[in-house]
Amino acid sequence: MAKKDADRSTPPPLPEPLAVAVADSHTHLDMQSGTPAEGLAKAASVGVTAVVQVGCDVAGSRWAADLAGEFEQVHAAVALHPNEAPRLVLGDGDGWSRQHRGAGGDTALQEALAEIDRLAALPQVKAVGETGLDYFRTGPEGVDIQKESFRRHIEIAKRHGKALVIHDRDAHEDVIELLLAEGAPERTVFHCYSGDAAMAKICAEQGWYLSFAGPVTFKANQELRDALAVTPLDRVLIETDAPYLTPHPYRGRPNAPYLIPVTLRSMADTLSLHEDELATAIAANTARAFGY
């Protein structure tokens, strides 16, 4: 293996621990190397003492709920990812999807949503998501299916009194329009916020939370830092979306919750805040947003 390839597969080093503990508001421990217990211990060693484990399909949502039932520092979010709903209807879903497709794709989607509804009632499940719209990977044929799924997730979140976690990729206007039309839950979180400052102001007016990930540290993403700067401090969250979106200077290497301090320090610099002040706000915001 070439040295460059070896470097890209090597986990980044542990950052200096945070003095004020925070939570990773969006991660995928099931996609990371090592056991969940190891990942949680590594995160805790640098002051990341809680995580929100996010499901993207039925199997992943069940796994998230089970993990949250086992570890008190884990809170689960359950949903069908926006790209999962069209797969259920049009084909090429996960193993569970193929087994439950029944008489047609719509049957599979409704059965999957019913299972998400069941899981959302569990006490360790604190959110419904990640749901929303993704026009990057799903073509025009999947838009109406995504919107139907999104509406159902909004209804499930409101009925169970859970937070709603939004996945929004290349669909800003439609996501906001649908949230306003359906009536967003009181606690709505834009995961891995990717809009501009103008959109951040709209979200702030609605009282929605914006969660920032590794891309806010990338040199080219001044637009994201501008959005962070206009977001009320009591609506700012932080996440890894690990194993994806590793912060600078480790971009391209494996991400994990223990790297939250790297992103937080970059965000504190953007906001001209001491890292402890930002961490204190984020810790309170995350607990309030997810109701734990």
3-state SS class at 2: coil
- The reported pLDDT for the residue numbered 202 is 98
- The reported pLDDT for the residue numbered 267 is 99
- The reported pLDDT for the residue numbered 93 is 44
Q: What is the mean pLDDT of the chain?
A: 94
Average pLDDT over residues 134-148: 93
- The reported pLDDT for the residue numbered 92 is 62
Q: Look up residue 102 and give its two tokens.
A: 């029944």
Tell me the residue type at 44. A
- The reported pLDDT for the residue numbered 48 is 99
pLDDT at 173 over 70: yes
Average pLDDT over residues 202-222: 98
pLDDT at 6 over 70: no
Distance CA 231, CA 75 (A): 25
Q: Which domains does the chain have, with CATH numbers?
A: 20-290 (3.20.20.140)
pLDDT at 249 over 80: yes
pLDDT at 95 over 70: no
- The reported pLDDT for the residue numbered 8 is 83
Average pLDDT over residues 148-167: 98
Q: Look up residue 222 and give its two tokens.
A: 């001044």
Adjacent-strand bridge partners of 77: 54, 127
Contact indicator for 20, 47 with CB cutoff of 8 Å: yes
Within 8 A by CB and 6+ apart from 252, the residues are: 8, 246
Q: Look up residue 235 and give its two tokens.
A: 């609506």
pLDDT at 112 over 60: yes
Which band of pLDDT confidence, cut at 50, 70 and 90, is reported for residue 96? very low
Distance CA 270, CA 257 (A): 21
In this predicted model, what pLDDT tens digit does every residue of 18-39 receive, in sequence order? 999 999 999 999 999 999 999 9
In this predicted model, what pLDDT tens digit does every residue of 174-203 receive, in sequence order? 999 999 999 999 999 999 999 999 999 999
pLDDT at 230 over 70: yes
Instruction: Give percent of the chain above pLDDT 70.
Output: 93
Tell me how far the alpha carbon of residue 112 is from its chain's centroid.
20
